[in-house]
Amino acid sequence: MALGENPKISSCVWRLIEANPLAFGAKRYNVTLLTFWKKAMPTQASKELETFENPHPERDYHIHMEIPEFTCLCPKTGQPDFATLILDYIPDEKCVELKSLKLYMWSYRNEGAFHEAVTNHILNDLAAATQPRFMRLTAKFYVRGGIFTNVVAEHRKSGWQPAPRVDLAAFEGNSNTRG
């Protein structure tokens, strides 16, 4: 397998490339390493969701993610629809891996989908991959034709009941934005 075909190039190999880019196909040293890295490590959209073992399956805990750059196409006009997706879940045995989630979300950029359909489809795929105790996906679509659309879809594992609520500070919108 050629170097550029291997998506899991090791950091050791990367250090060799960085030390001597000419030996690995860079035409001249002033070629930016980022450009060369992209050539060696292509990233493409994917419908494959990867998971990893939950490090604490004995405990209910809340994972909160905000995905502010979701894009799909309007199935009627072909125009882009933009949304912020908010994923909240309580994992069971598996958690979703973030890079695969990013590439999965990216895969919708050229697909036409109604807001309600795409929200439920994403939730179904995430729930199938992770089999969580509870999962909620909130899709906040930006204005289109003077109308904002919010879609909330939930999945609950059969028989799972949440522990009694402890009222602590909730996550605020853009809670990971500092400033």
Residue spans of alpha helices (H) in the chain: 11-19, 33-40, 98-106, 115-130
Tokens representing 42 are 């292509």
Question: Active-site residue 12, yes or no?
Answer: no
Tokens representing 58 are 């004995």
CA dist 19 and 70 (Å) reads 37
Question: Active-site residue 81, yes or no?
Answer: yes
51-66 in b/e burial notation, b at 16+ Cβ within 10 A?
A: beebeeeeeeeeeeeb
Determine which one of 60, 74, 88, 92 is catalytic.
Answer: 74
Residues labelled as active-site residues: 74, 81
